[in-house]
A = this chain, B = another copy of it.
Amino acid sequence: MQNQKKESCNTQKVNSFTQIDQMPKGRIKSFFAGDEVRHAEPMIDIIFPSVAFPSNKIFKTIGEGRIREMVWHHHELLLKTKVGKLFPANKEAFKMTVDATADFFIEALGGENIFTSVHGEPKLRVRHFKIPIDENDREIWLSMYKKTLKEIDFPKEHLEEFWNWIEPLSIRMINRRTNMQNIKRHYWNDVRISF
């Protein structure tokens, strides 16, 4: 990876698949079978954007109980979508999953280390590898969070900080690509009007 990184950044030679997808037609065909070997450039898929981890202000304002309610509310909405099929069908296993997620949110927002003391490092991307998560699953997950935040009356003054965390964070769970497009961003400035 060291060499590849050098190759990419020092020579600025790495394009993304999204860029290639937008190139004029006929480009790839031209690689075919000349008199000599021809090299197609290295390529990256997406850049997973920076993630803004929230301060402890949210936890100080709403506390453990309401964070737990929020996570449960979100998962109950998810169950009504196709993303629901990615969760354990067994009720007890489902409850364990949601409780662990709630523990994570509580700790990440400023509570006690109730997640890491039991489960170790978050490693959210790694934890989700066993489940195929595509771009559309992430869209659903995020839109159900928007609905949740409205329905539980999340404090307006902390919405931006929370949203700026979960929006890019959710991109990092994508492990199944189904198209060449960039991952859709839902910037706070575009979604704030929904709240």
Contacts and interface: CB of A to CB of B under 8 A. Distances in A.
Interface of A: 1, 4-5, 7-9, 12, 14, 16-19, 21, 25-26, 28-29, 31-56, 59, 107-111, 116, 121-123, 125-126, 129-130, 132, 161, 164, 172, 175-180, 182
A45 to B, nearest CB: 6
A91 to B, nearest CB: 27
B47 A42 contact: yes
A121 B55 contact: no
B55 A40 contact: no
A96 B1 CA distance: 38
Contact of A29 (B28, B33, B38, B122): B122
Contacts of A28: 121-123
A109 B1 contact: no
A34 B55 contact: yes
A44 B17 CA distance: 13
Given A28-B123, A29-B122, 15 more contacts: A1-B18, A4-B49, A5-B47, A17-B125, A29-B121, A31-B53, A32-B53, A33-B55, A33-B56, A37-B53, A37-B164, A39-B53, A40-B53, A42-B49, A175-B177
Pick the 7 closest A-B CB pairs, nearest first. Answer: A33-B110, A33-B56, A31-B53, A4-B47, A40-B51, A43-B48, A175-B177
